[in-house]
Amino acid sequence: MQRFKTLLWREWMQHRIGWLAMMTVPFVLLLLAVSFGNLHVNLADADVNIRVAGQRLPLNEGLLPLGISVFGGTAFLTVLLVWMGNMIQAPGLARRDQQDRSIEFWLSLPASHVQSLGATLLMHLLLVPAAAMLVGLLGGAVIAVMLLIRVDGFTALAALPWLAIAPATLAALLRALFGLMLATLWLSPMVLGTMAASAWLKRWGLPAVIGGLTVAHTMLKNGYGITLIADTIGGWFQQAQLALVGAGGRGNLPGVGHAGEFEFALRAFPSWAAGDAAAAVANLATPAFALAMVIAAAAFGLLILRRQRGA
Amino acid sequence: MSTAPLIEATGLSLRYGRKLAVDNVSFQVPAGRVVGLLGHNGAGKTSLMKALVGLHTCEGELRVLGLHPRRDRQQLLESICYIPDVAILPRWARVEQLITLMSGLHPRFSADRARTLLRRTSVGLEDKVKTLSKGMVVQVHLALIAAIDARVMILDEPTLGLDVLSRKAFYEMLIDEWCDGERSVLISTHQVEEIEALLSDVMILNEGKLALSISLEDIDRRFVALSHDAAQADAIAAAHPLLRYRVQGGSAAIFDGPPPEAVQALGQRMRPSLVDLFVALTRAPDMNRSQA
């Protein structure tokens, strides 16, 4: 375990500057906007309103949705930036140590290939995005509080239903972390597949995967009317999205047409999130997920084999 | 103390596809030896060393510290240390970070010992690898692996591309700080003259075959070099030496075993250098014949 933790620590040492930059950029930009932006709001003006669930509310009734939106939006933006950034960079990880010529050094140390690759994947695809979520939530809280203070002073904070906000935030965090893990699993065939292709075919790996899938899809579709490839990949993306939120549908979330109802929705959110997570788990018991895991495992095996063969 | 060899290879062959890189070699490395592995480029040295640390599949029997290098690679790497021929430390890391990583990854690594060894170099703990010269990087690498309480060290061209001062510093650190009479070192290099004094044994690979595996004491007993005047060249050549070559002020010839008594009288007996012996055993026969 000590060795695996050290391998995780190695990832942090090597990539921390980029990760910290990606985690803090949304916060810093929003902080500058909220601190120095030209914000003049007259709460008494009935024309100033906020759109919530398709309805326009006077702003003085919509402070809670406004704060929650900014809070959640900042966290979402932060984690999306880091998670997608790491996903996109994942194919390059397969040859990272070969490219900086340090692979022989790492291979000379007594860490197993599974440990080494596992630590890299876990750190890039799950732990760092999870950390980004925490950073985003903290940053979002700061931005939201500053915005509400600018709009309505400290009285806006005192009026917020903190006893509803706190458990809803915790539930949202847990649901998002769980969803992140499931979404990563759904997308793992593509991430690991492109990594394996890069490991074996070097710079031609990614074009080979994209080109191969495109040609195969075109031939199957034009020749036999089969859209299996596109449907499967599209299904994985859709399931990844549902794994993050909405797997159980949105119908059971109470309507939020009024600020009072929004507070009610906040109180109901933890149980809704738990049901949504359960629905996301239920979606794993499908042939599509089994296929995803088989392909991901095969790609992981190819990565191990490439590493066993050295630089 | 066990007298079992630390490294034992029997009928070992290595392939790259259909190409045979190492061909049916057998050797042993006992404890407390410093073994030089010599060979031309492409002779199979790096392949053999990779096989010893489990990075290359092989045919035949190979045991390092009693372990199968490929199957027991992780366990084996806990008891040996290795600097590969393309050794390069991660450029993004600081020296102190490497010590932290080694501490977590290698159970026999001593961070204090590494810091002590590094204090004897001009490298600082906060220095980034990418700011160091090649010689400094190699010294850091040696300090890191010399801080591992291992029984075997495998060094594949560790001083390639270094200037003479860096090479000297490297070998001094290796002998002074790591070799203790119980540990063994297997080192491949082209700078044969520089390491000859450090070696206890030598193995010479020629086109994948083991041309010689012998201790330096036995070299003195087995091989004889005769320096002679040019006038004696034909008589010396008639005795079929392994190699004839020029030395300052005349010529010399190396014989495998004592030369005929009549020939011995034609020249002055001297100790053959490792370089000359290496050339004698690995040079193509047609080139050898054309040598004056």
* B215-B219-B220 Cα angle (round to 5): 120
- Res B288 pLDDT > 60: no
Residue B290: pLDDT band by 50, 70, 90 thresholds?
Answer: very low
* Strands (DSSP E) found in A10-84: 49-52, 55-58
* Bridge partners, residue B82, by sequence: B154
- Taking each helix axis from N to C end, the angle separating A63-93 and A259-282, rounded to the nearest 10 degrees, works out to 30
B107 has a chain A CB within 8 A of its CB: yes
Q: Is A10 on the interface with B (CB under 8 A)?
A: yes
Distance from C-alpha of B159 to C-alpha of B167, rounded to nearest angstrom: 6
The DSSP string of B165-195 is HHHHHHHHHHHHHT--SSSEEEEE-S-HHHH
Tokens of A107: 């291979």
Judged against a pLDDT cut of 60, whether residue B289 lies above it is answered with no
Contact between chains at B90 and A3 (C-beta distance less than 8 A): no
What is residue B254's predicted lDDT score, i.e. its pLDDT?
A: 87
Whether residue A38 has pLDDT greater than 80? no
At B136 the pLDDT is: 87
Residue of A nearest to B73 (CA): A110
Q: What percent of chain B has pLDDT over 70?
A: 96
- Distance between the two ends of chain A, CA-based, in angstroms? 26
The mean pLDDT of A250-279, rounded to a whole number, is 76
Sequence-distant (6+) residues with CB within 8 A of B154 are B49, B52, B53, B80, B81, B82, B83, B185, B186, B187
Average pLDDT for residues B1-16, to the nearest whole number?
Answer: 86
The pLDDT, as a whole number, for residue A9 is 96
| A contacts of B103 (beta carbons < 8 Å) | 6
Predicted pLDDT at A201: 93
Higher per-residue confidence, B228 vs B285: B228
Binning pLDDT at 50, 70 and 90, where does residue A49 land? low
Residues in chain A closer than 8 A to B69 (CB atoms): none
Which one-letter amino acid corresponds to residue B93?
A
CB atoms within 10 A of CB B173: 17
Separation CA B115–CA B215 (nearest Å): 35
For position A45, what pLDDT does the model report?
64
Task: Check if A5 contacts B (Cβ < 8 Å).
Answer: yes
How high is the pLDDT of residue B184? Answer: 93
Q: Which residue of B has its CA nearest to A109?
A: B77
- Do residues B225 and B245 lie in contact, with contact meaning Cβ atoms separated by under 8 Å? no
> What pLDDT does residue A253 have?
61
- Interchain proximity A310–B50, CB inside 8 Å: yes
Record the pTM: 0.84
Kindly state the tokens that stand for B276.
């000359």
Sign of the Cα torsion A233, A236, A241, A244 reads negative
Mean of pLDDT over chain A:
87
> So what's the pLDDT on residue A190?
95
* Contact list, B75 vs chain A (CB under 8 Å): 110
Q: What is the mean pLDDT of residues B235-239?
A: 79
pLDDT tens digit string along B118-143?
A: 988 889 999 999 999 888 888 899 88
What is the ipTM for the molecules in this complex?
A: 0.82
Q: Do A6 and B101 touch (CB under 8 A)?
A: yes
Q: Does A3 touch chain B (CB under 8 A)?
A: yes
Residue B292 pLDDT greater than 50, yes or no: no
Which of B53, B90, B92 lies at the smallest CB-CB distance from A105?
A: B90
Q: What is the pLDDT of residues B257-271, one digit of tens each?
A: 888 777 777 888 888
- Residue B46 touches chain A, beta carbons under 8 Å: no
pLDDT band at B3 (very low <50, low <70, confident <90, very high): confident
Residue A294 has what pLDDT? Answer: 97
- Provide the phi-psi class of B166: left if phi over 0, else alpha when psi is between -120 and 50, else beta: alpha
Any B CB within 8 A of A14 CB: yes
Query: Which of A6, A14, A101 is opposite residue B105, by nearest beta carbon?
Result: A6
Closest Cα partner for A199 from A85, A105, A99? A99
CA-based nearest residue in chain A for residue B109: A109
Detail the DSSP E strand segments found in chain B. Answer: 7-16, 19-29, 34-39, 59-64, 80-83, 152-156, 184-188, 201-206, 209-215, 223-228, 243-247, 250-256, 268-270
- How many CA atoms, within 13 angstroms, populate the side-chain half-sphere of residue B137? 23
> Do B187 and B175 meet the contact criterion of CB atoms below 8 Å apart?
no
Q: How does DSSP assign B88-134, residue by residue?
A: ---TT-BHHHHHHHHHHH-TTB-HHHHHHHHHTSS--TT-BGGGS-H
pLDDT band at A46 (very low <50, low <70, confident <90, very high): low
Q: Is B160 on the interface with A (CB under 8 A)?
A: no
Burial classification of residue A126, based on how many CB atoms lie within 10 Å of its CB (0-12 exposed, 13-18 middle, 19 or more buried): middle
Which residues, including other chains, have CB under 8 Å from residue B18's CB and lie 6 or more apart?
A: none
The tens digit of pLDDT for each residue in B107-117 reads: 999 999 999 98
Closest residue in chain A to residue B49, using alpha carbons only: A108
Tens-digit pLDDT profile for residues A92-122: 999 999 888 888 899 889 999 999 999 999 9
Chain A residue numbers touching B55 (CB-CB < 8 A): 107, 310
Shortest distance between the Cα of A106 and any Cα of chain B, in A, equals 9
Of B181 and A7, the one with more pLDDT: A7
For residue range B184-198, list pLDDT tens digits in order. Answer: 999 998 888 888 888
Q: Is B183 on the interface with A (CB under 8 A)?
A: no
Question: pLDDT tens digit string along A114-163?
Answer: 999 999 999 999 999 999 999 999 999 999 999 888 877 888 788 888 88
B55, B89, B103: residue with CB nearest A105: B89
B161–A contact, CB cutoff 8 A: no
Provide the pLDDT for residue B26. 94
